[in-house]
Amino acid sequence: MASHPKHGLVTVAQHIIEQQRNHPTATGQFSWLLSGITLATKIIESHVRRAGITNVLGETGESNVQGELVQKLDLIANETIMRCLGYRGNIGILVSEEEDEPRIIKNTSGSGNYVVLFDPLDGSSNIDVNVSIGTIFSILHKREDVWPSDGPEKHVLQPGIRQLAAGYVVYGSSTVLAYTTGDGVHMFTLNPDIGAFVLHQEGVIMPDVGKTYSINEAYRASFPQGIQDYLEWAKTDNYSQRYIGSLVADFHRTLLRGGVFLYPPTKKSPEGKLRLLYEANPMAFLAEQAGGAATDGQHRIMEKTPQHMHERTPLIIGSKSEVERVHQFLEKG
């Protein structure tokens, strides 16, 4: 494991504080908030690692706001994040993929300034079969031009370019955290012996080219013609295909190895399946910070203004040149 160029071993908490020193106006509130997220992901990871022996596999019997069956671990992850962040006095609004409405955090210090959005456990279909899953988060400032009587939703419906930070934790063969505050992407591995995320790569750069595409090709017949043509062409040019079915894991591989991940509109999900606020925006922020790109096939993901909290979007994300190539096929298709 590589050490920090300046200080040797660096934990994520230290790294966040150092990053904040580059911002003279920083109050420390933001690092406090991020440390709440890392604490929550460590608790979730301990549940994930013991899932088979603690009777937390399987469904709860309930559906979430998206109409999807809720897994027991989905619920545990959601409650863990709510519990860890609900007590950090500076958060104003918490929004989860699993909940119908934004949750306003009431605290003694008045109303907090931040909006935290998260997908507590991404890759639900992989939970019970021991395949990589993850947690995704995105942080915004509350808008200053919104009155309390307008309700919390207006604070939440901001385009991705307003994100202050975003990141994910992938619970894979090891547990890795990646985050950005708009100053590059930094990656940490959880050292289970000391219970800390330790820096292993600063300023991660996504390879600009990569001959791997990642898509659920079973839906191929209902993809837009341009996507079908791209897939056909890629097969004649020695591409590989990799698809895990957890965005967090498919994105993590794409970030490190290059290539492109696609979830286009399909007959079943005409708007795409992935959620703009909890999945596409944070990953788009990370991709761009690593030199990659993210679009919905027409527009830059981070410039889309969400109309509602659980809005879905098509997603094409990865190496810049590969995303551009997909666009060329879409324009011809």
Q: Which residues contact Mg ion by CB under 5 A?
A: 119, 122
- In angstroms, the CA 228 to CA 329 distance is 9
**Segment contacting ligand AHM (CB under 6 A): 12-20, 117-125, 138-146, 228-236?**
117-125
As a whole number of angstroms, the distance between CA 105 and CA 269 comes to 33
296 contributes a contact to ligand AHM by CB under 6 A: no
Decide: is 119 part of the binding site for ligand AHM (CB under 6 A). Answer: yes
Please state the closest distance from residue 275 (CB atom) to ligand AHM, in A.
7
Task: Give the x-and-dash track for 192-221 against ligand AHM (CB under 6 A).
Answer: ------------------------x-----
Of the candidate spans 120-128, 147-155, 230-238, 283-291, the one that interacts with ligand AHM by CB under 6 A turns out to be 120-128
Of positions 68, 183, 208, 271, contacts ligand AHM by CB under 6 A = 68
For residue 273, state whether it binds ligand AHM (rule: CB under 6 A).
Answer: yes
Q: Which is nearer to ligand AHM, 182 or 245 (CB)?
A: 245
Rounded CA Rg of the chain: 19
Q: Single out the residue of 19, 212, 248, 253 nearest to residue 122, CA to CA.
A: 248
Token pair listed for 112: 């907090």
Q: With CB cut-offs between 5 and 8 Å by kind, which of Mg ion, ligand AHM, none does residue 135 bind?
A: none
Round to whole Å and give the CA distance between 293 and 284: 7
> Of these partners, Mg ion, ligand AHM, none, which one is at the site of residue 273 (CB under 5 to 8 Å by kind)?
ligand AHM
Q: How far is the CB of 120 from ligand AHM (least distance, A)?
A: 9
**Sequence-separated (6 or more) residues with CB below 8 Å from residue 158:** 115, 140, 143, 305, 306
**Residues 287, 101, 57, 194, Cα dihedral to 10°:** 60
- Of 121 and 139, the one with the shorter C-beta distance to ligand AHM is 121
Closer Cβ to Mg ion, 45 or 119, answer by number? 119
Query: Which of 90, 112, 117, 113 lies closest to 102 in space, CA to CA?
Result: 117
- Position among 86, 172, 184, 245 found at the interface with ligand AHM (CB under 6 A): 245
63 binds ligand AHM (CB under 6 A): no
> With left for phi above 0 and alpha for psi between -120 and 50, is residue 326 left, alpha or beta?
alpha
Q: Which H, E and C letters describe 223-285, residue by residue?
A: CCHHHHHHHHHHHCCCCEECCCCCHHHHHHHHHHHCCEEEECCCCCCCCCCEEHHHHHHHHHH
262 binding ligand AHM? (CB under 6 A): no
Can you list the alpha helix ranges (DSSP code H) found in the chain?
Answer: 12-21, 29-49, 72-86, 153-156, 225-235, 247-257, 281-289, 320-332
Nearest partner of 271 among 297, 289, 291, judged by Cα: 297
In the complex, the smallest distance separating the C-beta of residue 156 from Mg ion, rounded to whole angstroms, is 17
Residue 172 found at the interface with ligand AHM (CB under 6 A): no
Query: CB under 6 A: which stretch of 82-90, 119-127, 198-206, 282-290 binds ligand AHM?
Result: 119-127
SS3 195: coil
For ligand AHM, what does the binding mask look like between residues 12 and 51, x meaning CB under 6 A?
A: ----------------------------------------
For ligand AHM, the closer of residues 122 and 322 by Cβ is 122
Give the footprint of ligand AHM on this chain (CB under 6 A).
Answer: 68, 119, 122-125, 216, 245-247, 263, 273
